[in-house]
Amino acid sequence: MSKPLYLGEMLLHWCSKCNVPVLGKECVCGSHTKKVTVTPPGDIRPAFEYDLELINSVSMLQFNAPLIADERVVVLNKAPYDDRMDEIIVDGEVLGSIRFELDTLKWVLLLRVEGARRLFQGRSLSAMKGWVILEQGAVKFILGGANLLAPGVLDADPGILEKDEVVVLDPTGQVVAIGRARMSGERMQERPKGVAVKVRVKEEPCDVVVPPGGQTWDEVIAANKQFMEDFIARSHKFITNVASSMTKPVTVSYSGGKDSLAVLQLVSECIENFDIIFADTGIEFPETVLNAQEVSQLYGKHLKSISSENAFWESVDTFGPPSVEMRWCCKVCKLGPITQLIEGNYEEGCLTFIGQRKYESGTRAKSERVWKNPWVGNQVGAAPIQDWTAMHVWLYIFMHRLPYNPLYAKGFDRIGCWLCPSCSLADLRRLRETHPESASKLENYLADYAQRSGLSPEWVEHGMWRWNKLPPRLQEIAKAKGILTTPKVLANSKLELTVTSGYRPCKQGGMSAEGSFGTAIDLGVIEVSGILEAVGKVSFMEGVVSISQGEDSAQIFASGTVTARSDTEIQVRQLIRSVELSIRRALRCSGCGVCIGKCPQHVIRVKDNIAVIGEECVHCGKCIEVCPVVKFG
């Protein structure tokens, strides 16, 4: 599971008097606010109508009552998790979290004690689900940190199934704990030996007081006026200073997302002459393309755009499905075209204001506010909202009634390519409901790829295609469900490496390259032969091989993807070429022994009709070029 990461100051507070969220210690009404403890990084956002409907529908399924039954200001905090999880904050209290679970492929509501009290207080148990009543004598043990043993159960909802989320109450109906059922409700009623509920959170029983609702987002805007004015002024100053410090023409990169929309408005308040640039990857949501057109008309600016059209689908058979580790699609469908757009319109390059924020990721938190784009050589990027949280962005959008992308209101928390491997599986499943034709096109391709590669259909269903090396949680699910995740080598494949779009600078320094054989690689055969030792020091893990050559490095994935990093373009070209040839040698070796005579260390021998390189190899690479497979294969 992803770990909480502090990327900036935790800013969420709540005014008890106004009952609204505030981004500081004092509300505009003069009242001191209380800090709301949320999981870092604390990038909070408003809950839209779809979010509330989802929360309440899951709450109804689990407990037969809505968690949020009336009009209230609700904010969500995106918490670290294997997929998508949002903490639900109402009236300054975290009521629980809603998360998409990768094993069951379902949304689950994980209540906190406050949320459980609001659900169960004042309601008859006969109208509720998912409840367990424990004997009075067991209360002290639960509060002391113990799980609920079945002999301590007084009664339980007979509809409870094993692994269901349940609320534990004392005999008077007060909430004591929340956890997961370890047996069915009917089994609990029999009071056998064993754990009935694995307790996750517990608290001393007490009544809950719910403040009056009815607050609006206009009231939230008013309560945060002074904080927003300060952030806006700082962004204005940044934009003005950066633009005046260089002679390059000014542009705003518009993606169709909320952050670039806020930046566009900020720049329009400071600078009169600027262009809007938009890269249509060809796999954008139609709502995004339409929004970009509408926004450019609203600001009276010509939209300088470029489209990759069908480039993704023309390339996917060469590179295979994109993955988190190798998003070749970014280079083919976005970076290449945007380079062409800038070179074709700005002879001396341009200054581009971009909606980058440090709360989005660790990489962006470490990024400079002004930088030379490592992928687009003649573009200087600048981030006016680097220190803004998502709540700042949304309040600013609401203040100016800006036309934000309607996809946010439909349940998508990030706007990008609709099949991006960095999307949560929850969003990809939501795609089935909002854009069924797009979802079907993706899933049909993945199903065909899985069948050709000897992978389980569940590899597609559980979103495992998004990774070359599965994260630990997905590895556990694959093992438990018997899902085949290692692709087989396609017969008679040519084993020709295609590098995505050249050799590019890394943000961390040096150069990088990415390529694909277009077919799976049998890493087991490569490991036995030891032939990669000719390139560098080799280490094997499940589904991936790492090679180090001094400060240079390369990785080979079972899917056929290869990545490499080095200090210069010449070195990275040589490294990835050596890796390509060595893979071809390992998989096509006939055991002819030509390489034996070229080894100055005499560490190559032929065993079972294949050449094997010993551990004493000094990685000189002299055996590579003489191999007949390299010369004629």
pLDDT of residue 315: 82
pLDDT of residue 344: 87
CATH number of 548's domain: 3.30.310.10
Is residue 143 in some structural domain? yes
522 plus 450 within the same structural domain: no
How many other CB atoms are there within 10 angstroms of residue 344's CB atom? 10
Total structural domains in the chain?
A: 5
Is residue 428 in some structural domain? no
Name, in order, each residue with C-beta under 8 angstroms of 556's C-beta and a sequence gap of 6 or more: 521, 523, 526, 532, 544, 545, 547, 562, 579, 583
277 plus 305 within the same structural domain: yes
Distance CA 285, CA 45 (A): 22
Give the pLDDT band (50/70/90) at residue 512: confident
pTM (whole model) above 0.75: yes
Name the region of 19 (left: φ>0; alpha: ψ -120 to 50; beta: rest): left
Terminal alpha carbon distance of the chain: 44
Name, in order, each residue with C-beta under 8 angstroms of 147's C-beta and a sequence gap of 6 or more: 179, 182, 195, 196, 197, 198, 199
Each residue of 253-276: pLDDT tens digit?
A: 999 999 999 999 999 999 999 999
Distance CA 45, CA 74 (A): 9
502 plus 403 within the same structural domain: no
pLDDT of residue 307: 93
How many other CB atoms are there within 10 angstroms of residue 496's CB atom? 13
pLDDT of residue 492: 45
Smallest CA-to-CA distance from 419 within 410, 428, 429 is with 428
443 plus 399 within the same structural domain: no
Is residue 425 in some structural domain? no
Distance CA 189, CA 183 (A): 10
Cβ(488)–Cβ(520) under 8 Å? yes
Name, in order, each residue with C-beta under 8 angstroms of 74's C-beta and a sequence gap of 6 or more: 46, 47, 51, 52, 68, 88, 89, 90
SS3 580: helix
261 plus 137 within the same structural domain: no
Q: Which of 137-146, 306-315, 535-544, 586-595 has the lowest mean pLDDT?
A: 586-595
- Residue ranges making up the domain that contains 142: 128-206
Is residue 580 in some structural domain? yes
Each residue of 122-137: pLDDT tens digit?
A: 899 999 999 999 999 9
pLDDT of residue 491: 43
When pLDDT is averaged across residues 272-291 and rounded to a whole number, the result is 97
298 plus 326 within the same structural domain: yes
192 plus 234 within the same structural domain: no
115 plus 135 within the same structural domain: no
Q: What integer best gives the mean pLDDT of the chain?
A: 90
335 plus 370 within the same structural domain: yes
State what percent of residues in the chain have pLDDT above 90.
Answer: 67
When pLDDT is averaged across residues 47-64 and rounded to a whole number, the result is 98
| Crossing angle (nearest 10°) for helices 390-399 and 225-244 | 90
Distance CA 125, CA 302 (A): 61
When pLDDT is averaged across residues 270-284 and rounded to a whole number, the result is 96
Q: Domain ends where: 51, 86, 121?
A: 121
pLDDT of residue 390: 94
591 plus 538 within the same structural domain: yes
pLDDT of residue 414: 87
Distance CA 256, CA 330 (A): 16
Is residue 212 in some structural domain? no
Each residue of 461-497: pLDDT tens digit?
A: 999 999 988 999 999 999 999 999 987 755 445 677 8
Choice between 25 and 596, residue whose per-residue pLDDT is larger:
25
pLDDT of residue 494: 63
Checking if the pLDDT of 436 tops 90, the result is yes
235 plus 188 within the same structural domain: no
Is residue 486 in some structural domain? no
Q: Domain ends where: 121, 142, 162?
A: 121
Is residue 526 in some structural domain? yes
Is residue 418 in some structural domain? no
386 plus 461 within the same structural domain: no
pLDDT of residue 249: 96
CATH number of 337's domain: 3.40.50.620
CATH number of 174's domain: 2.30.130.10
Q: Domain ends where: 206, 237, 253?
A: 206
Length of the chain counted residue by residue: 633
